[in-house]
Each structure stands twice: as structure tokens, then as C-alpha cells.
Amino acid sequence: QVQLVQSGAEMKKPGASVKVSCKASGYTFANYYLHWVRQAPGQGLEWMGIINPNEGTTKYAQKVQGRVTMTRDTSTSTIYMVLSSLRSEDTAMYYCARGAGLPQTNYFDYWGQGTLVTVSS
């Protein structure tokens, strides 16, 4: 069965960086784009970006462009998201999600369990 398993909760100080991982299993890793979506406490869903696991190409949301880097390791079917220059506003649950229906459409058919990142001095 398809699974996306994320790394554990992180607590960081403002200005630091955080790296979150998402290990995929149960399907051919190269065949589906993967996304990062975050949700601040009590707030809605915010899309952060997409990675093509086959080529490693990425697209980022304008709000985090310049602070986010998404990479993948095909040998372990894992993607990574590094967010730098952390601010208190980056405190959120971070989800990886698989994109289905591409290229004409894209919806998220599987989600990771989420990784809570807390930014506090």
C-alpha cells in the first residue's frame, strides 16, 4: 500500500534552518510528483512547492521562494524539504503529499502523517 512517512517533530530557533524528510513506499517513486503543504495552527492549507522525483526539478510558491529547497534521493525514495531563516510564522504542521492526475490535473491522493515544526526563541 502507498505510504508517505515523515520525520519527527522539530523545534528550532528563529533564523535557523529545518530539514524534513518524507519516505515514499508502495509505488514507483519516479512516477508521481510530490508536494509539500503546510498548515499553521488553526489556519488553512498552504502549498509550498512541488518536486519531480524523476528529474529533481522543482517549483516553489512565491511566499517561500528563496528560503525553501526541495530535493530527492531516488536510492531511498525519499524527498527532503529545507526551510531556512525560520520565523515564528513558519510554525506549522508540514505535510508531504503525492500528486495524482498530472499533467492535466493535480490532486493529492496520499498524504504523509505530518511533521510539526515549532519556531521559538
Residues that bind another protein in the complex, under the rule CB under 8 A: 35, 37, 44-47, 50, 59, 61-62, 95, 100-101, 103-109, 111-114
What are the grid coordinates assigned to 114, written together? 505530518
How far, in whole angstroms, is CA 38 from its chain's centroid? 8
Nearer to another protein, 8 or 103 (CB): 103
* C-beta of residue 57 within 8 angstroms of C-beta of residue 76: no
Min dist CB 12 to another protein, Å, is: 22
What are the grid coordinates assigned to 74, written together? 531516488
**CA nearest to 30, candidates 68, 94, 79:** 79
Structural Rg of the chain based on CA atoms: 14
Min dist CB 82 to another protein, Å, is: 20
Nearer to another protein, 30 or 107 (CB): 107
Min dist CB 88 to another protein, Å, is: 21
Nearer to another protein, 26 or 107 (CB): 107
